[in-house]
Amino acid sequence: MPIELPPAFAFSQTSLQDFADCPRRFQLRYLLAQSYPSPLAEPLADLERSLARGERFHRLMERYWRGIQPAEPVDPLIADLWATFRANPPADVPQAFRRPEFSLSVKPAWARGARLTAKYDLLAYDLDGEALIIDWKTSERPSRAALERRLQTVLYPLLLVEASPRLFGAPLPPERVRLLYWFGESDGATELFAYNSARYVADQERVGALLARLRALEVDEFPLTADLRHCRHCQYRALCEREEAASTFEVDDPDAFPDLEELREVIAAAAAQDDFVL
Ligand code: SF4
């Protein structure tokens, strides 16, 4: 029997990344809405603190880019991140339009009926059509190669180009889109990904192939990942009998550690379920 997605389901970078990392996790999380009480990482206090820092810094950035200066002194939990931002803000941010916490969703023809969604920490663009997507990171900085592989790096510029006719009134050439990651825990270091037409086509194919793979699966056919690194911070470890893969919160491999924003998204979705344990 073919799978059935929940009504109005929209694929985000997190859900697509879940499927790419482990089809079983996608099935448990989105098709079965399965709660399971393995901690994402221990000690919980460290994880909770990091999530709280990320959440509060994102709220501060949202207000800042709306033109609201934070009252000094700022929240002590994120004072260091704020100081880093003040000392090393991202350069060359387009000025005409700056939209923090901007969401869009599209149903491109190549996705064959699937809805795709992205939520940008900051979308800035000028009237000449230069667009910059900024993503604030408060987790450990992964390698550029790992960032390049992440579906966030694929989906964010891809969906902006797809949405551009409605958003800007005219198609935005991929060459005018840039994606910038800003790392608060690394002195405001950045990684910039300039988009282009070849990458746009390749990204359509990559996401289209992922969606096709998912649609081709039968309901009882979602394999567990063969890469145990994905199990280390997965709340389904006990269910999958992969408890031995559990890891502490100490980040010994930033390339394998899940993005804090993705963790927040997972936790927020699960918070609606009474029996979820962080
Ligand atoms: S514990 Fe491992 S195999 Fe099980 S859902 Fe999580 S990532 Fe997949």
Under a CB-based contact definition with an 8 Å cutoff, are residues 99 and 132 in contact? no
CA of 123 to the centre of ligand 1 (A): 33
**Cβ of residue 240 lying under 6 Å from some atom of ligand 1:** yes
pLDDT 10s digits, 73-125: 899 999 999 999 999 999 999 999 999 999 999 999 999 899 999 999 999 99
What does pLDDT average to in each consecutive run of 10 residues of the chain (278 residues)?
Answer: 84 95 94 74 74 94 96 93 97 95 96 94 91 94 94 97 92 97 96 98 98 90 91 87 67 65 68 42
Give the 3-state secondary structure of 31-72. HCCCCCCCCCCECHHHHHHHHHHHHHHHHHHHHHHCCCCCCC
**Residues in contact with 173: Cβ distance below 8 Å, sequence separation at least 6, in sequence order:** 129, 197
**Cβ of residue 34 lying under 6 Å from some atom of ligand 1:** no
CA of 65 to the centre of ligand 1 (A): 38
**Cβ of residue 233 lying under 6 Å from some atom of ligand 1:** no
Residue whose CB lies within 8 A of the most ligand 1 atoms, among 227, 231, 244, 247, for a mutation test: 231
Nearest CA to ligand 1 atom 5: 25
**Cβ of residue 224 lying under 6 Å from some atom of ligand 1:** yes
Residue whose CB lies within 8 A of the most ligand 1 atoms, among 14, 232, 234, for a mutation test: 234
Under a CB-based contact definition with an 8 Å cutoff, are residues 49 and 248 in contact? no
Read off the pTM.
0.89
Domain ranges of the chain: 10-271
User: What CATH number does domain 10-271 carry, 3.40.640.10, 3.30.420.40, 3.90.320.10, 3.50.50.60?
Assistant: 3.90.320.10
Strands (E), the chain: 10-11, 97-106, 115-125, 131-137, 177-183, 189-194
CA of 31 to the centre of ligand 1 (A): 15
Predicted local distance difference test score (pLDDT) of residue 235: 85
